[in-house]
Structure formats: structure tokens, C-alpha cells
Structure 1
Amino acid sequence: MDKRYYKEYYTLERGHWWFTVRAQILEDYVRRNIYKGSPLKILNVGVATGATSDMLAKFGEVTSLEYDADCCAFLREELNKEVINGSVLELPFGAGEYDLVCAFDVIEHVEDDTLAVREMKRVCKPGGDLFITVPALMVLWSQHDEVNHHFRRYKMSGVRALFEKDTDGSERFSSYFNSLLFPPIFVFRVLSKLLPKRSTKNNSGSDFGVFNNGFTNKLLAAFFRIELSWLRFSKFPVGVSILYSWKKS
């Protein structure tokens, strides 16, 4: 993550429509499907500025891990948060330590995503859960992915293949999401490829700075939030992101 970008992240994670509603969707899933009332031991991989760890703390004790050393320094010095500087490719934990291992929009940042998933499985307890999100569909690839140092976007079949390489568990739930806004986002991404790249002189160049004024932000959040109720009983066949939950045997 570029230094300018992670500093923007603190505000974005707590106010931008995509981050705030995504957090609500993730929290709702954990509350309904994983949390049984007793505190969980949770590993959150790739915490950025910590908003997802704050959400997960409602369900137990959270260990936060972040690869970006500058982001770790920001968390410690500016927010007084505990964080471990480490890589998902070599998690500094013993086997079977965690009830729940989360990686929200993380494994697209690493070249060897097979090893990343294997490591998350390793530190998960038998009977525990892995819960991830990833960006969906290479047709949506844009400058946003480049400034975020993504290696890829995923099809659902690709995510399933990653988890099925080791037959030590089973899928609990999977769905695309950010689906209702897929048509305009698709058009925006396609058009952005035809236009000159956005300048990164005064911003990160990501999509998060686009359509982010007060009224538009509230409108998009309200529209995106409709998906929360839908995902409680059904799935979306296409979307900008993928949600995937897996249970270890």
C-alpha cells in the first residue's frame, strides 16, 4: 500500500460507503453463522488501519496482523493499537491456534495465494472457520487494482479451487456481493480504461476518492445495504466482490 493511501484509509474505513456497509455485512455473517455466544480467538490478517479488527472484537479476542510496516507504525503510534508485523505467507503462530481466521481483501495482494490459504488453514483450529473477501472478476481490473498492488481479481470457481486443494474442510457459504451496484461500476471501470489515468499527485488514484461526497456516499451506502438482508437467505450470481466462508474439519 502506498504511504499516502494507507493514511487515507483510516478515514475511508470508517466513513466510505463501501467500507462501512461491507463491515456490516461481515459482522452480520459472523454473528449469525460463526459466533455462538462464547468469546472466539480470532486472527485478522491484513488489518490496514484496524476497522475490521474493531468489528471482530465484538466476538472475542482479536490478534491483528499487517504486512505493511508503515501501517503498523501508524496503528501503534497514532491509534495505540496492538498489531503484529508479519506475512500471511508465513504466519508467526502455531498450528490450530484460532477459532476464526479472517482475511478481508488480502490474498489478492500476494503472488502465492495458494500458500496464503494453506497458512490460514494451518493456524485455524479443527472445527474453526476461515472467512475471506476478495475482489471479483478480471473484467473489472483497473487503475484501482494497480495502485492497490493487486495480483488478480477472482472468479468464484477460482476461490473454491484454492480451498479445495487440501481436502481438510468444506465450504460453508459463498456469494458475490456489491452486486446491485455492479452495472454502474462495470461501466465506470470500462470507461476508465479508455480515458487517461487519473493523476496520483494529490490522491492515491484509487476509486475510493470517486463519488464520495456526503450525499452520494449516503445514497450508495443505502443502496449497498439492501444486500445485507438478501445475503441472509440467498446469494448473488455476480458482483464486484466475493465473500467466502470455509470450515475446517
Structure 2
Amino acid sequence: MNQAYYKHYYHLEREHWWFVVRNRIILNHLKKTLPKQRPLRILNVGVATGYSSQLLEEFGSVKSVEYDRECYEFTKANVPIDLIEGSILELPFEDNTYDLVCAFDVIEHVKEHQRAVDEMQRVCKSDGFVCVTVPAFMFLWNQHDEVNHHERRYKMDELESLFEKSGKIVFSSYFNFWLFFPIAFFRLLSKLVPLHRQNVEEAGSDFTVLNGPVFQKVFGGIFKTEDWMIQQRIKLFVGVSALLTWQKTK
């Protein structure tokens, strides 16, 4: 990756309909879930160009961690957040340090995802929370996952099993529910005419393909309707993504 890529991603993370609505869903979910006593100590892992960390500052002080060296350098130079370079597999913090630990679309990039979850749980305080989002369903795998260097997509029971050792799952649900059906149709259809391996990078991710004013208005508007459902703790049975929040009880 180069600086031009991160500059492009910087704008996607702040303007693309998928990020805009995903962030809205996450923030409103956290408002309903987190204790009223604030400010909180927050750790955000795998922050990319840092917009999720800026949004989380609504709840308290945020420490950010980014693994990719070039991404870290770009974000450090361009975004005013408290950022260090580090790995989710070896977080450089003491046990029981943070009230909230977040990893939004991160653990799917990691081979040792159980170790990643264990590390987030370790640095979480007693009665604190861990919140993650991930892409859902391996049958939806396409060039978007390859371009973004994913290791896997998740069914809900697979995601929940990573958090079952201790504590309790406060809430879990799929999201991007309405768009799941057309996206699933087109992704399955695309497998009938698979891309040649060398053209995967040229095809781009979904963020590139499903972009523009029409997608912004139509897809963003459809996706936004799910915000209310998630806030009402309605568990959606399918979706392109999944959300889970866990609480440490000892």
C-alpha cells in the first residue's frame, strides 16, 4: 500500500455510505450499552485512518492501535488521535486497563483470532465491555475479501464461540440485513463467472464498486433503517456483517 491509497481510504472512512451507517449503528448501540458514568478509558484496535477513534471520543479518552506500518505513519501524520503502532495479538497494556475495548472489522484479518479476542478481554476492566464487528458468511467471500486481506468471514455462532470462555455476551446480531439479499445474489452469481486471479486487485473492493451519489442515497438510506432495530435489541438473522458486545464479569 502507498500514501495515495491511505488518502483515498481516509475519505472513504468518513464519507462512504457503508462506513457512515455502520458508524451510526455502532455509536448508538454503545450509547445504549455503556454506563452513564463518563469519561471512560477506551482502547480502539486496528484503527486504519482513525475516524472510529475520533467518534469514540464522545465517550471518553481513546488510545488507538494500528498494526500496519504505512497506515500507522499516514494516520499519525494526518489525524489528531493518541495512536501507537502495535498488534492485537500482543497488546502493550496491563490487565484490566480499559472500560471499553473495540475492534471494528479487524479480527477477520488475523489468523489467530482467538488470541486476539483473549488479548482484548485481558486488557478490559471488570464490568467493562468489548465491542467488535466482522464480515459475515463465508459463502459471501469475493474479491472484496481478497483485496482487504481477510482470513475469514463469520457465522454468528462462530463469532460468539470466541467470547464464551468468560464474561457474558450482552448483545449480538447481524446487520446490513436488507442489502444482504441483493448482495448475496450478485456475489453468488459472480462465482459463475469467476475473476481471473491476476485481475482481483483491478476489480477493487466493494467500497470502490458500490460508490457514487446513487449508492450513497439509495443504499445508505436502506441501510440506515436498521439503526432503530439494533437499538431495540432486535437480533437480525442474516446480514453482510455482524456485531457483538461482550461484558467482563470478573
TM-score range, shorter chain: over 0.9
Aligned to 1:184: 182
> Secondary structure in 2 aligned to 1:38?
coil
Q: Is the 8 A contact 1:170 1:248 kept in 2?
A: yes
Equivalence map 1:43-54=2 (5 Å):
43-54=43-54
Question: Structure 1 length as normaliser, TM-score?
Answer: 0.94
Aligned to 1:196: 195
What is the CA distance between 1:35 and its match in structure 2?
4.0
Q: Which runs of 5+ in 2 are unaligned?
A: none
Aligned to 2:112: 112
Q: Is the 8 A contact 1:125 1:248 kept in 2?
A: yes
How many aligned residue pairs are there?
A: 244
What is the CA distance between 1:215 and its match in structure 2?
2.5
Does the C-alpha gap of structure 1 residues 113 and 45 become closer, same or farther in structure 2, counting only changes over 3 Å?
Answer: same
Q: Please tell me the residue identity of whatever aligns with 2:211.
A: N
Q: Is the 8 A contact 1:103 1:133 kept in 2?
A: yes
1:89-109 per-position Cα deviation (integer Å, ceiling 9, x unaligned)? 000101000000000000000
Q: Is the 8 A contact 2:143 2:200 kept in 1?
A: no
Q: Does 1:208 align with 2:207?
A: yes
Aligned to 1:39: 39
Using the TM superposition, name which of 215-224 and 55-64 deviates more: 215-224
Q: Is the 8 A contact 1:137 1:153 kept in 2?
A: yes
Q: Please tell me the residue identity of whatever aligns with 2:168.
A: S
Q: Please tell me the residue identity of whatever aligns with 2:28.
A: D
> Secondary structure in 2 aligned to 1:200?
helix
Q: Is the 8 A contact 2:137 2:155 kept in 1?
A: yes
Percentage identity across paired residues of the two chains? 51
Does the C-alpha gap of structure 1 residues 199 and 136 become closer, same or farther in structure 2, counting only changes over 3 Å?
Answer: closer
Using the TM superposition, name which of 142-151 and 73-82 deviates more: 73-82
What is the CA distance between 1:187 and its match in structure 2?
1.5
Question: Structure 2 length as normaliser, TM-score?
Answer: 0.93
What is the CA distance between 1:140 and its match in structure 2?
0.3
Question: Alpha carbon RMSD of aligned pairs, Å?
Answer: 1.5
What is the CA distance between 1:5 and its match in structure 2?
4.2
1:51-90 per-position Cα deviation (integer Å, ceiling 9, x unaligned)? 1101101110000100011111111222344311000000
What is the CA distance between 1:199 and its match in structure 2?
5.6
